[in-house]
């Protein structure tokens, strides 16, 4: 029987029409755009045949922004108005940006906002606005190549980007007028590009490591493929470590060799970085590289850097990436022997020492037959084609994970985790909480990210309040807090009181992200301080229990203390309560626990009288037969 497709009046369903979608690799140093044409994913070139677009934007007071090669070529001549490596700044606070170091040749504006703004001739601009210009240029290239407007794009982000950095990337796409079909982790995109799910070879299962060393970020992801499902077992890395840092190591060597001061003008810094980058690229092919630099004082310096010296300069940086690899393997609960393939991503993986050290760690030669600069964009294009609906028969599923645990603050300054790190996305979790005091009608919800037990040791993401809770005795209200993370890794939090139905929600959009190396230090700190965190949590919980006991006793005494206690009994309870309150400041959880027991024993007779009084009040004026079960009375 033929199948009919029904369309709205005046609208053609056009089931055969290929929807135009693209994958964008928004990189620190270079960016690319790719699409699927004729069932083949390919990166798109500009009019001069260049596939890579330098992620550099020059702003002017009298002309539109200049993006790409032309902007990069003028960076040394106009450093304050030419913004490069905006990806390293996106989603970060001004304090975080300053911690990146004094090597940024920009003029940052002091404002009340947490978002850093860079002063240029074109105005005071945020990294989001700079990134939007790069995205606009790539989108125009795609639309010119494909012959029509894009229905949507997939943009790749480092696996270790936190919620703020992902949201900032999405905001940049919105400014560029793009519909984001999905934010996709760069290592996952690389795995898709390599076709690690190749059905024709029968290789439908396996564990793969994706080593991604780009211009400004490093990612390591451990993925398992099972019958078309890519599941990220663990993600790690450093959102402030990349090829720029290799260049910087060479630049510092040049400063020492040339005998010039470390404090140089922005133009000299730009020239230094360009010379260092060119030397790095030459040393990936040759045993030595010649360097030449015009100095600010008019002198000309030249020198030779051999590969052995270069390797010694960058080895500590490569070592940091390998440490992150080992941690990711532990998190994924696999060993190097379990890895079926290692994929290299990012232009910096062309450096021979990187390939040697990665091969040494994993015990196998890594895959590098696809251009490491293009592989992420190609994978994004394949996913964009699928999400646009052009491949209805494809059952490829990508499951990412969150890099750090998410939770809320509870009484006593403790963090109650709701979604642990390395949880597969999308995810939703809820947990029920209750009120601390009698008659409490509002609750403050504080959303946190991190691996420690105390609020002070984690990163604050958002705060909101649930109001209108019906006044009840402490502990009677049932407040359900729900965390929902979508496939892009963006978080929404809601809270609802179950008996009344009052609710509140917030879409977590922090104004900045985690600072340099902060994610790595959070994970390391959670291991180093596990014992003291456990002791601190126990102490906080005992103090909280003690405060509940104190509040309950005070409330009871206010209600019926005079009616049920004589003067001597009341004095004895008051003395016991005073001793107990003094104990609450103790730093020994066991002492507080003992004090709670002692107070309960002192007040046992009073509790019994209150219970008897309640029972007598409930039975007053009623017959015993009313309290007998019908089956028993028959």
Q: Which residues are catalytic?
A: 25, 87, 186, 212
Structure tokens at 280: 């790095």
Which residue's structure tokens are 């106009």? Answer: 78
Structure tokens at 175: 């400014």
Helical pair 307-332 and 243-258, crossing angle rounded to 10 deg: 150
DSSP alpha helices (H): ranges in 148-291?
163-175, 186-193, 243-258, 266-283
Question: What is the number of residues in the chain?
Answer: 634
Q: Report how far apart the first and last C-alpha atoms of the chain are (Å, whole number).
A: 68
Q: Return all residues near 293 (Cβ < 8 A) that are at least 6 apart.
A: 254, 258, 271, 272, 275, 300, 301, 302
Which residue's structure tokens are 């004095």? Answer: 571
Structure tokens at 494: 């809601």
CA atoms within 13 A on the CB side of 101: 12
Instruction: Kindly write down the DSSP assignment for every residue of 89-127, as one continuous string.
Output: TTTB-HHHHHHT-TT----B---SSSS--EEETTEEE-H
Contact in structure between 233 and 257 (CB atoms under 8 Å): no
d(CA 149, CA 171): 20
Contact in structure between 463 and 509 (CB atoms under 8 Å): no
Of 245, 418, 423, give the one whose Cα is nearest residue 348.
245
Three-state DSSP class for 287? coil
d(CA 209, CA 360): 14
Contact in structure between 402 and 423 (CB atoms under 8 Å): yes
- The conformation of residue 86, written as its DSSP 8-state character, comes to G
Contact in structure between 405 and 429 (CB atoms under 8 Å): no
């Amino acid at each position: 029987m033929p199948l009919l497709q029904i369309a709205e009046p005046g609208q053609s369903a056009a089931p055969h029409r290929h929807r135009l979608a693209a994958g964008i690799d928004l990189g620190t140093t270079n960016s690319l755009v790719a699409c699927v044409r004729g069932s083949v994913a390919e990166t798109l070139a500009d009019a001069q045949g260049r596939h890579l677009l330098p992620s550099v934007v020059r702003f002017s007071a009298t002309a539109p922004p200049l993006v790409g090669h032309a902007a990069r070529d003028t960076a040394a001549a106009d450093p304050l108005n030419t913004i490069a490596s905006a990806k390293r700044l996106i989603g970060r606070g001004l304090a975080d940006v300053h911690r990146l170091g004094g090597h940024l040749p920009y003029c940052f504006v002091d404002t009340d906002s947490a978002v850093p703004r860079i002063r240029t001739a074109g105005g005071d601009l945020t990294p989001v606005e700079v990134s939007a210009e790069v995205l606009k240029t790539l989108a125009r290239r795609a639309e010119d190549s494909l012959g029509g407007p894009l229905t949507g794009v997939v943009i790749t982000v480092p696996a270790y980007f936190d919620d703020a950095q992902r949201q900032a990337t999405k905001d940049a796409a919105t400014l560029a007028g793009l519909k984001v079909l999905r934010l996709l982790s760069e290592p996952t995109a690389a795995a898709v590009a390599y076709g690690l799910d190749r059905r024709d070879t029968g290789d439908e299962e396996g564990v793969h490591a994706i080593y991604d060393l780009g211009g400004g970020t490093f990612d390591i992801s451990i993925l398992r493929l099972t019958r078309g499902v890519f599941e990220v077992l663990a993600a790690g890395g450093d959102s402030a470590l990349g090829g720029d840092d290799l260049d910087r190591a060479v630049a510092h060597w040049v400063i020492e060799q040339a005998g010039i001061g470390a404090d140089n003008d922005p133009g000299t810094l730009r020239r230094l970085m360009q010379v260092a980058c060119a030397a790095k690229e030459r040393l990936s092919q040759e045993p030595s590289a010649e360097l030449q630099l015009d100095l600010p004082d008019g002198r000309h310096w030249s020198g030779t850097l051999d590969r052995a010296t270069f390797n010694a300069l960058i080895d500590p940086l490569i070592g940091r990436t390998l440490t992150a690899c080992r941690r990711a393997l532990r998190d994924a609960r696999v060993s190097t022997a379990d890895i079926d393939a290692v994929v290299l991503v990012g232009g910096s993986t062309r450096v021979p020492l990187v390939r040697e050290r990665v091969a040494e760690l994993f015990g196998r030669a890594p895959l590098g037959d696809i251009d490491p600069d293009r592989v992420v964009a190609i994978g994004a294009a394949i996913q964009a084609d699928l999400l646009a609906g052009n491949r209805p028969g494809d059952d490829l599923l990508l499951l990412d994970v969150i890099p750090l645990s998410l939770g809320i603050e509870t009484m006593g300054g403790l963090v109650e985790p709701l979604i642990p790190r390395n949880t597969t996305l999308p995810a939703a979790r809820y947990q029920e909480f209750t009120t601390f005091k009698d008659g409490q009608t509002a609750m403050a919800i504080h959303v946190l990210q991190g691996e420690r037990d105390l609020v002070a040791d984690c990163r604050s993401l958002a705060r909101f309040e649930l109001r209108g809770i019906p006044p009840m005795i402490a502990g009677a209200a049932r407040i359900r807090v729900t965390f929902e993370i979508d496939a892009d890794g963006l978080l929404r939090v809601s809270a609802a009181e179950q008996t009344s139905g009052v609710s509140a929600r917030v879409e977590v959009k922090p104004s900045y992200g985690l600072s340099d190396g902060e994610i790595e230090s959070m994970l390391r700190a959670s291991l180093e301080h596990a014992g003291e965190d456990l002791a601190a949590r126990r102490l906080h919980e005992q103090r909280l229990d003690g405060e509940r006991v104190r509040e309950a006793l005070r409330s009871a005494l206010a209600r019926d203390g005079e009616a049920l206690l004589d003067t001597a009994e009341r004095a004895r309870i008051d003395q016991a309560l005073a001793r107990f309150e003094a104990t609450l400041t103790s730093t020994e959880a066991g002492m507080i626990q003992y004090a709670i027991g002692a107070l309960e024993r002192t007040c046992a007779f009073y509790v019994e009288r209150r219970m008897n009084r309640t029972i007598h009040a409930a039975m007053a004026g009623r017959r015993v037969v009313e309290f007998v079960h019908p089956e028993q009375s028959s």
